[in-house]
A and B are shown apart, each in its own frame.
Chain A
């Protein structure tokens, strides 16, 4: 289920150009993150995949098939969609929300509800919540229901539009870990939109950094981007320029593990004793610098 953008442009009726001549291949069964600031066209690009937005020119192919020829309603039912603020139907219970799309596609009510309960387990929600209404859930719980709903038809493609943008940092952490765990077992083609570069590096196998107008600043794995920012914009965007990601070993550190600080001198983490020995013996005392994030992102 690879997705291919071919020279896609989108100009809205009011004349704003959201995306200009965008080409990209999104590999199947991996997570691709589109990351950029507000107005870079990342949401527009995402919404083109399920035809919520049709391109003004160019084409989008899913497994080689031009989606312009697929009726939107059927296409959307075959693709999972998770949005910020969950978008749950307020007048339906949690179970009914999750079962909505399967029931639209003709799955019998009883089976759809059983599947919905199993999906609640899957996203780490107590089955006791099945009969609640969205307004009775916390923000994090609502987002989990949103993810369960996105997975309800067992789609090959899952689109996620800043799904964790409106929950507090601790809950966001939990949800991100949950998504990594889910993706580890499910292996969907996930397209994830965010403005948070840390989230992009954590979740993405492939990260696409976007500039205004949907121009690609750099595409690569988190490691590639961190090691080799393609230009000033990327370097600035990932924080390398501000010294946030360039870490030094702090000489005042005591004990086995070695303290790492960023360019401004703020504590950023620790290097375990074994690794520290490698770094210290492998290079001269003046060039002892390490990038954080890379190991973490590499495991993602």
Chain B
């Protein structure tokens, strides 16, 4: 029953204009998306080049994993509390938290994507006379794209979920309905808010999953994710009975 009331609450036009004399549903969605998109964008600008560099050179992987684990271990709310005390309320502290949260999956997606590219393919590209930059842009990046998008996808979902959590601290989001609903025991508003957050997350995920499928390069078997050339090589070596020798 509560669920239906929640859905009815969402479709009540008045709630789109304003709820509890604050932002309405439309406003909170926009704000939620604003924080999400901005944070993911900043995280991507920081993490993707570093991840690509790690994947390409094979150096710094241990460091990236370490940093990833440390950041993942941060208690989000605790970190936010400290930043709020140090920096005061406003855009910056919440943004810092979101960005930090969004970096590890993107970093991992980028370097895992590049690492998944068959070393023989990269070796051949180099032997043909591609510069390191050309190898990265024309070979590794296209083949790494599905895994990279996978990183973007989990990063986005993390941030969408967390933006809802911290909306008490100056960043408007759909979480506001859940929190104020809980505070005033208005469970209809609370359910409405949670449905909205869930739908938003699912839509974002579906959109990015679609994008991920589109980035699987043609010629690479679908569903292979980033383990691209494994398929090509299997086909190549399968009909042969001859041993594959050397390769040093």
Question: B207-241 toward A: CB 8 Å interface, digit per residue (1/0)?
Answer: 00000000001111100000011011101111111
Interface size on A, residues (CB 8 A): 47
Contact (Cβ within 8 A) A76 B219 = no
Contact (Cβ within 8 A) B220 A195 = no
Contact of A83 with B220 at beta-carbon distance under 8 Å, contacts A134-B232, A167-B242, A195-B246 already known:
no
| Complex CA distance for A100 and B228, rounded to whole angstroms | 19
Contact of A83 among B124, B130, B231, B237 (CB under 8 A): B124
Contact of A139 among B125, B138, B236 (CB under 8 A): B236
| Complex CA distance for A78 and B242, rounded to whole angstroms | 31
Contacts of A18 in B (CB 8 A): 248
Give A84-106 interface residues, CB cut-off 8 Å to B.
84-93, 100-101, 104
Interface size on B, residues (CB 8 A): 40
Chain B residue, CB-CB nearest to A132: B219
B119 shortest CB reach to chain A, Å? 10
Tell me, yes or no, whether B143 is within 8 Å of chain A by CB.
Answer: yes
Tell me, yes or no, whether A168 is within 8 Å of chain B by CB.
Answer: yes
Contact (Cβ within 8 A) A195 B245 = yes
Contact of A162 among B124, B125, B142, B245 (CB under 8 A): B245
Contact of A165 with B219 at beta-carbon distance under 8 Å, contacts A73-B129, A85-B236, A87-B123 already known:
no
Interface residues, chain B, CB within 8 Å of chain A? 118, 120-121, 123-131, 134, 138-139, 142-143, 217-221, 228-229, 231-233, 235-242, 244-248
Q: Apart from A76-B129, A85-B120, A87-B121, what are 8 other A-B pairs with CB-CB below 8 Å?
A: A73-B130, A86-B124, A87-B120, A87-B127, A88-B124, A90-B220, A91-B219, A166-B244
Closest A-B pairs by Cβ, 9 of them = A87-B124, A133-B219, A77-B129, A91-B217, A76-B129, A135-B232, A81-B127, A90-B232, A166-B240
